[in-house]
Amino acid sequence: MRLSISVRIAEGFLSKEEATMTLDDVCSLAKAAGFEAVCMRASQVGVHSSEATIAEACETLKRHALPVSMVTGDFDTVYNNEKGPVSLRHITPYLDLAEALETTLIRVALKETDDIPHAQRAADEAAERGLHLVHQCHTLSLFESLESIETTLKAIARPNFGLIYEPANLEGCRQDYGPDALKRLAPWIANVYLQNQQLNPNGDITLDTWVAGPVSFDLIPIYQSGGIDFARVFEGLQAIHYDGTITVHQSAPLEGSALEDAKRTAAFLRGLM
């Protein structure tokens, strides 16, 4: 398994457009903490970025010897809003960005069944360039419940359209995220996102879901107990022989040093890997 860190480490949980660190700083943190790749998001580089900005990002990544594990090319996908699926109707700029960053995984969004034909056409165009589209287990999307995830992926029916397994969103939607769920989703898992939360009716954050209504929780570090059962997660990953990327998808820590938090997170996950 390869350990990657999302540039989300330089974003607030609910403010995902303004980065609190430069890409150079994020890469320095990633190397110092022992990560082997970075997951790119639009707060650093996206389809809105100029050629010069993209070229500078590529030079920064090369200087730090850090590959990009996946790219999310716009803010609508990041926010999972109603405009999220628009990229599927014009996927070419996202494919260009992925090629520039030398990654093969591109995160996209689907909100309703009418988006499926667009996902199929986008995947076909991506396949011509050896690229893959992936969708995160996410609230307010066709990827909320295990049943909907499986149904949607079978309907898309493209070998280069896969899943980002993410247990926290599954838990928020009152879905199983353990070994049985991983076995069910195994044919499509192309990436793994990890973030931690503690469900709490009076939690600081409340997100809406279609399958379970409003869900409240508190953000906690990945290495803190009382949230996602990561031992079960890795038991399931090992059972399906997953050997791909493990991406830390945590936003900036609420307090303390981001570097120390990243170091503790990497050490904790390596112990499970």
The tens digit of pLDDT for each residue in 21-75 reads: 999 999 999 999 999 999 999 999 999 999 999 999 999 999 999 999 999 999 9
Q: Mean pLDDT across the chain, nearest whole number?
A: 96
pLDDT, tens digit (0-9, with 9 covering 90-100), for 75-114 = 999 999 999 999 999 999 999 999 999 999 999 999 999 9
Domain ranges of the chain: 2-272
At 129-155, the pLDDT tens digits run 999 999 999 999 999 999 999 999 999
Mean pLDDT of 219-228: 96
- Fold of domain 2-272: TIM Barrel (3.20.20)
Global pTM?
0.95
CA distances from 253 to 11, 13, 202, 224, 249 (A): 9, 9, 20, 13, 11
pLDDT at 252: 80
The confidence band for 14, taking pLDDT boundaries of 50, 70 and 90, is low
pLDDT at 13: 67
